[in-house]
Amino acid sequence: MNRAADNIRILAASMVEKANSGHPGGAMGGADFINVLFSEFLVYDPENPRWEGRDRFFLDPGHMSPMLYSTLALTGKYALDELKEFRQWGSPTPGHPEVDIMRGVENTSVRWDKAIPLP
């Protein structure tokens, strides 16, 4: 358990350092709880990410996004090369994740109602 949490911490800190942008503190501090949640409590089917009976992990993903991406990388949803692109324009790992249920991102903190004019 500790090794997985340590990997989450290292990946999160590395992502922020490489991007030269972001805040690693929350992600590093949350590594233990997210590891326990994903490994012992959350019910989901890795083969069927859209399974309606799955548990959903929601958080305000801005400052905690490195933790989320690191955890999802350890479950096979993101490649290490994608983590290296954290917070880069057009990256699959933006600083505020967008919903991508197939990759384990269940919510976003982006306000689409403000970003896209409604008719």
pLDDT truncated to tens, each residue of the chain (119 aa)? 799 999 999 999 999 999 998 888 888 999 999 999 999 999 998 889 999 999 999 887 678 999 999 999 999 999 999 999 999 999 999 988 888 999 999 988 765 555 554 44
Q: How far apart are CA 38 and CA 4, in angstroms?
A: 11
Q: Output Rg (C-alpha) for the chain, integer angstroms.
A: 14
Q: How far apart are CA 110 and CA 57, in angstroms?
A: 17
Q: How far apart are CA 55 and CA 28, in angstroms?
A: 23
Q: How far apart are CA 108 and CA 19, in angstroms?
A: 20
The answer to whether the pTM exceeds 0.85 is yes
